[in-house]
Structure 1
Amino acid sequence: MDNKRQAQTIIIIALLLLALLAGLIWWLKPKSAATPVTNAATSINSTSASTTSSTTITNVDTQAANGNKSAIFTTGLEHMPRSLQDTDVDGEIIIDENKQLVATEGLRHLFDYFLSAMGEEDEATIIARVEAYIRHRTPEPAASSAIEVFRQYITYLKEIGSLEESYGNLQMQATQSGEIDLNLIAQRSQDVNRLRQQLFDKDTIQAFFGGEDAYEDYSIAMVRIEQDNSLNTAQKKASREDYISRLPEGDIKQNFQKQANFGELTQRTEEMKAKGASKEELFVMRRGLVGEAAASRLAQVDTEDANFDTRFNQYQAKRQALIGNAGSEANAQEQIDQLERSQFSESERKRLTGYAELQKMTLIDLTNNL
């Protein structure tokens, strides 16, 4: 592999690690992770309110949208944007016995549910919709508190977007050496925390972002271990296991343990396949790491992948023959399309271009390493 290709690979890996810090929290975190609520006597569960109405958007919607925003909605669910039609409202509003709002992660889910329609609806319409939804289901003073938190959350999303863009550009510049700049990430975390403290109280910060922070801390710890050149492979593995073992018991720890197991699973699978391991040997190894059910599913995936590989190689040979007979790919395109339809399902055909490119990259890497 030449120097230019090495540099490109290093930058891509570094950027993927950076993306992990923002994306891993949603990839791993359970969607319905519970947040402890103290003295929560009353639960107003949004998921009981269904938007299964198939009402289509008519001229009435357009006229209402151009009028007074506060007068558009009564329940907040009238004339839902197309992307939210036939869905259940995600999230919750929790109040205590004194009708005071209790901040929960579910409240943030509720805000995100309606905000996901941004673009289909303008900001003013979404704000009016959410405020109507809250007031229709929530007594005072909890209703006004929830609306205030919602407006603070909108401000937070706008400001955090600008901050992340700035740090993303700086981090890209700092990864030219092939390592994530952990000092820069620490500074980013300080700025994020400062912004949160300006907008939210302590309880809301913990409810909205506590789980997210735990996942980010984990990601940073894993990067720090990976970049520690004083540790060999075995020591890095032990350090990762030690970090996870010291976490408090709960869903987050279990998810990290699963991720560690799947990381080891991927590495050991590649190593064993390279050594020519049998299906039975792979199954025993996988069962020990992720359980019998997952091991069975992975064995099925192996079979499906092997079948696809065989059909893909046959397709490539026939495709090249068609191009040779027709004189060019353009002249053979209709026949190639017919061949693809006869050999692959619709979902499989979407993989063909990317699969061919992956095979080329693998061949180049093997050639350069000879």
Structure 2
Amino acid sequence: MNNQRNTRTIIIIALLLLALLATLIWWLKPKSVSTSAADNTLATSASATVTNSGLTATANTPSTDNTLSANFSTGLESMPRSLQGTDIDGEIIIDDNNQLVVTEGLRRLFDYFLSAMGEENEATIIARVEAYILHHTPEPAASSAIKIFHQYMSYLKALDELQGSYGTLQLQATQAGKLDLNLIAQRRQDVNRLRQQSFDAATIKAFFSGEDTYEDYSVAMVGIEQDNNLNAAQKQASREDYISRLPEGEIKKNFQKQANFGELTQRTAQMKAQGATKEALFDMRRGLVGEAAASRLAGLDVEEANFDARFNQYQAQRQLLINNAGSAGKAQAQIDELERNQFNDTERKRLTGYAEIQRMAQNDAN
């Protein structure tokens, strides 16, 4: 009995640490990544034009009407509330012949407008982006950018279906409480195959090379952390060796700042378990990863506490629906509606794994 309880405890701790690790890597990642593809292209286009630099999203009349049609001139009319007053992220770059130069910044521009999905429907966002491109970009670059935007929209829909087939990978664990790196590798192969079906090689490199570098790093760090043949000193040496072999640049500099993530993860878990104050956590994190990252992690703490509170409320309401209906199957439609009302799409994907962790923790406590 004690051995089973110890095993469950190990699994719970490992799951929590690994989930935190994945989150830390994401939060320590800079907002944008300059890719070598973009750098090389810009270096060969001395007079390249960058559109939307310094623009700020404004709104003549705040719009929450999802029936807004394609009556856009600049694409910036009646901006959704969440984007009002924000700087427009991303860029459209053209060369001397008005040909589009595809960069990671073009993807960020698409993501900027797509972040309002829900406030505006898909048709409105498509019309807005097309108008923005046509207003700020000459032909033939404009048509090229619009074509890639539609390819990107199709890719995101297919990616969402693919992600759903794999579930929440960071919460799928072996009996030792480790991430299944083979499953992650298979998912990456499927994602790469999807990209090749959606884009040409140049667009894939421009859009995703920076993201892939971060995912390579994340997988390598988790692999080192899960290697039971390495002691703490050897793990640290392996992490440093991996980073030292990366090409010089901003990405490598950022990874060097993250080199203490193992200690950061462990100390964060320990300090929280001991009831450390927010100030003490911030001081520890600032010493390891700098003030900016420490501030982002403090924000993450607030978000996680908010999610915990909403999850506990959801669990109570869900059980009440089941009790009233007589079974989970009969209450499923109401449960689905409850989830949609209380959580966004990303959060809903966490619910099953989060509930399992809580169940295991409760069983261990009993």
TM-score by length of 2: 0.66
Q: In the aligned structure 1, how far is the partner of 2:174 from the partner of 2:253?
A: 31
What residue in structure 1 maps to residue 27 of structure 2? Answer: 27
Q: Deviations over 1:129-172 (max 9, x none)?
A: 00000000101111011011111111111111121122125774
- Structure 2 vs 1, CA of residues 81 and 8 (structure 1 numbering), >3 Å: closer, same or farther? farther
Higher relative CO (Cα under 8 Å, sequence separation at least 6) belongs to: 2
In the alignment, structure 1 residue 50 sits paired with structure 2 residue 93: no
Q: In the aligned structure 1, how far is the partner of 2:29 from the partner of 2:286?
A: 24
- Structure 2 vs 1, CA of residues 11 and 198 (structure 1 numbering), >3 Å: closer, same or farther? farther
The question of whether the paired residues in 1 share the 8 Å contact of 2:57 and 2:83 is answered with yes
What residue in structure 2 maps to residue 82 of structure 1? Answer: 81
The question of whether the paired residues in 1 share the 8 Å contact of 2:172 and 2:180 is answered with no
C-alpha displacement of 1:26: 4.3
Q: Deviations over 1:69-94 (max 9, x none)?
A: 33x11110111111111222111000
C-alpha displacement of 1:235: 1.0
C-alpha displacement of 1:251: 1.1
In the alignment, structure 1 segments of 5+ residues that lack a partner are 273-284, 302-363
Q: Which amino acid aligns with 2:143?
A: S
Q: In the aligned structure 1, how far is the partner of 2:73 from the partner of 2:13?
A: 49
What residue in structure 2 maps to residue 148 of structure 1? Answer: 147
Aligned-residue sequence identity (percent) comes to: 67
C-alpha displacement of 1:56: 2.9
- Larger displacement relative to structure 2 (200-209 or 10-19): 10-19
The question of whether the paired residues in 2 share the 8 Å contact of 1:182 and 1:224 is answered with yes
C-alpha displacement of 1:268: 7.6
SS of match in other structure, 2:11: helix
The size of the alignment, in residue pairs, is: 285
C-alpha displacement of 1:43: 2.5
- Structure 2 vs 1, CA of residues 162 and 11 (structure 1 numbering), >3 Å: closer, same or farther? farther
Q: In the aligned structure 2, how far is the partner of 1:151 from the partner of 1:245?
A: 39
Q: Deviations over 1:341-370 (max 9, x none)?
A: xxxxxxxxxxxxxxxxxxxxxxx9xxx9xx
C-alpha displacement of 1:261: 3.2
C-alpha displacement of 1:4: 4.4
SS of match in other structure, 1:207: helix
What residue in structure 1 maps to residue 279 of structure 2? Answer: none
C-alpha displacement of 1:8: 5.8
- The residue correspondences of 1:285-304 to structure 2 (distance < 5 A) are none
- Structure 2 vs 1, CA of residues 110 and 268 (structure 1 numbering), >3 Å: closer, same or farther? closer
Q: Deviations over 1:239-264 (max 9, x none)?
A: 11111111111111111111113544
Q: Deviations over 1:200-249 (max 9, x none)?
A: 11111111111111111111111111222211121111111111111111
C-alpha displacement of 1:179: 1.3
What residue in structure 1 maps to residue 14 of structure 2? Answer: 13
- Structure 2 vs 1, CA of residues 109 and 169 (structure 1 numbering), >3 Å: closer, same or farther? closer
- The residue correspondences of 1:188-207 to structure 2 (distance < 5 A) are 188-207=187-206
- Structure 2 vs 1, CA of residues 126 and 25 (structure 1 numbering), >3 Å: closer, same or farther? farther
The question of whether the paired residues in 2 share the 8 Å contact of 1:52 and 1:88 is answered with no
| Higher alpha-carbon Rg | 1
The question of whether the paired residues in 1 share the 8 Å contact of 2:74 and 2:135 is answered with yes
Q: Which amino acid aligns with 1:89?
A: I
The question of whether the paired residues in 2 share the 8 Å contact of 1:44 and 1:94 is answered with yes
The question of whether the paired residues in 2 share the 8 Å contact of 1:182 and 1:220 is answered with yes
